[in-house]
A and B are shown apart, each in its own frame.
Chain A
Amino acid sequence: QLQLQESGPGLVKPSETLSLTCSVSGGSISSSSYYWAWVRQPPGKGLEWIGSGYYSGNIFYNPSLKSRVTISVDTSNNQFSLRVSSVTAADTAIFYCARVGPQMTFDLWGLGTMVTVSS
Chain B
Amino acid sequence: QSALTQPPSASGSPGQSVTISCTGTSNVVGRYNYVSWYQQRPGGVPKLLIYEVTRRPSGVHPRFSGSKSGNTASLTVSGLQAEDEADYYCSSYAGSNTYVFGSGTKVTVL
The reply to whether B104 and A60 form a contact with Cβ atoms under 8 Å apart is no
**8 Å CB contact of B98 from A47, A58, A60, A105:** A60
Which residues does chain B contribute within 8 Å of A104, judged by CB atoms? 32, 34, 36, 51-52, 93, 99
Of chain A, the residue at the smallest CB distance from B55 is: A103
A101's nearest neighbour on chain B, judged by CB, is: B51
Stretch of A12-20, A73-81, A106-114 at the chain-chain interface: A106-114
A108–B101 Cα distance when bound, in Å, is: 16
Chain A interface category by residue count:
20 to 34
Quick check: A105 and B36 within 8 Å, CB to CB?
Answer: yes
**Contact present for A107 and B101 (CB under 8 Å):** no
Name the residue of chain A whose CB is nearest to the CB of B50.
Answer: A105
State how many angstroms separate the Cβ of A87 from the closest Cβ of chain B: 20
B69 at the interface (CB under 8 A from A): no
Query: Of residues A49, A60, A100, which shows the largest number of chain B Cβ atoms within 10 Å of its Cβ?
Result: A49
Closest to B90 in A: A47
Asked whether any CB of chain A lies closer than 8 Å to the CB of B89, the reply is yes
B48 at the interface (CB under 8 A from A): yes
Beta-carbon nearest neighbor of B99 in chain A: A49
Chain A to chain B contacts (Cβ below 8 Å), 20 pairs: A46-B3, A46-B89, A47-B38, A47-B91, A47-B101, A49-B98, A49-B100, A58-B97, A60-B97, A62-B1, A63-B98, A64-B1, A101-B51, A104-B93, A104-B99, A105-B52, A106-B46, A106-B48, A109-B46, A112-B45
Given A104-B36, A104-B99, A105-B34, 11 extra CB contacts under 8 A: A39-B46, A47-B101, A47-B104, A49-B100, A58-B97, A100-B99, A103-B55, A104-B34, A104-B51, A105-B51, A107-B51
Chain A contact residues, CB within 8 Å of chain B: 35, 37, 39, 45-49, 52, 58, 60-64, 96, 100-101, 103-107, 109-112
